[in-house]
Amino acid sequence: MKLLTKTLLAAAAALCAAAPALADITIGVSLSLTGPGSGLGIPANNGIKLWPATIGGEKVKLIVLDDATDPTKGVQNARRLVSEDKVDVIIGSVITPVAIAMSEVAVESKTVQLALSPAQLPPGKDSWTFRMPQSNGVMANAMVAHMVKHGVKTVGFLGYTDAYGEGWLQELTPRLEKAGIKLVATERFARSDTSVTAQALKLTAANPDAMVVVASGSGAAMPQLGLVDRGYKGVYYQTHAAASKDLTRVGGKAVEGTFVTAGPVVAAEQLPDSNPSKALGMKFNAAYEAAYGVGSRNQFGAHSYDTYLMLDKVVPIALKKAKPGTPEFRQALKDALESTPALAVSHGVLDFTPTDHWGFRPDTGVILKVVNGDWKVEP
């Protein structure tokens, strides 16, 4: 009897050893850790480094690649992640042209892409892409409302030549027209440019009430410095891609008084207690600044945090239908993202649907003012 018992136990142990373990959830990340977009990619990566080892109770395998702010490299990274690493989710990129290029791989491979930039895609082309930042339109709502409140009648535009600059121009223009604000001059520049002298001269000559600068990270200071050097003394607005202390660090006194449209997390402590993002924003800011220094909080690291919060919500739902590493699990993740009830995150309230892969509500953006090198929420 003892021999039989030992034999059965040994056989059971052998079967357990042979049975496949539940696969880890594999997440592939492509960020601009070098190149002009590194000012966004590095803090986003810092945010990911703060993630727990599990999501939805399952162990996570993270693969982080550098796309060098290059759309071609972003596509190469995405193809490697889906074909070689067999990832369940793609995260990235932080730069809009790179994220847009990567979306093609997401569609082809039927893999969820959680873009960390407001990547604008034609209808139907975003079927597997969900954006974690606020759309340019959502942020333009806050910006134009602030202009109306403060009597702005004319505006100049100085923005990137790429998809981020174009996206902002497309969203801002009709909102300005509806508000009765005239766009009197439009100039563009490349991310790699080190001067905007010619553009600044034309914009300054137009002498609008306010100037909208569309740039990102530390690179957002350069065009504003160029306008200041050429004598423009009106009101300055910057976009959510400039919502980090890189703007004030590089811009110094020249960016004092600038209005920046941003997610609520950047100044979470100043939000009313009724704001659903206040507690989450304060929690993230405390953790991020404990790891990377006081004042290091930013728009981009918080997108990584919100990505974790969303995955932690939908992964358990997907696991009820399929195992990681399978097409069925990837489809289940997409379905869960599109059907999960609205979720409060540090940047607002996300509410993805089958027809809306942007998620954030129209009134999500807040306006921050640079005061003594710090942020002050505008009422």
Residue 64 has pLDDT above 60, yes or no: yes
Domain match, 178 and 191 both: yes
Mean pLDDT (the chain, rounded): 93
Residue 247 has pLDDT above 90, yes or no: yes
The answer to the question of residue 93 being in a domain is yes
State the residue range of the domain holding 152: 136-262
Per-residue pLDDT, 362: 92
The answer to the question of residue 180 being in a domain is yes
Domain match, 117 and 144 both: no
Domain match, 143 and 68 both: no
% of the chain at pLDDT higher than 90: 91
Tell me the per-residue pLDDT of 146-185, one tens digit each, with 9 for 90 and over: 999 999 999 999 999 999 999 999 999 999 999 999 999 9
Domain match, 144 and 92 both: no
Per-residue pLDDT, 7: 41
Tell me the per-residue pLDDT of 328-373, one tens digit each, with 9 for 90 and over: 999 999 999 999 999 999 999 999 999 999 999 999 999 999 999 9
Residue 18 has pLDDT above 80, yes or no: no
Domain match, 253 and 140 both: yes
Q: How far apart are CA 236 and CA 29, in angstroms?
A: 34
What are the C-alpha distances in Å from 250 to residues 12, 39, 338?
A: 65, 12, 40
Residue 20 has pLDDT above 60, yes or no: no
Q: How far apart are CA 63 and CA 255, in angstroms?
A: 37
Domain match, 90 and 177 both: no
The answer to the question of residue 366 being in a domain is no
**Domain count for the chain:** 2
Domain match, 310 and 229 both: no
* Interval 128-143 mean pLDDT: 97
Q: How far apart are CA 27 and CA 206, in angstroms?
A: 49
Domain match, 112 and 210 both: no
CATH number at residue 308: 3.40.50.2300
Domain match, 246 and 328 both: no
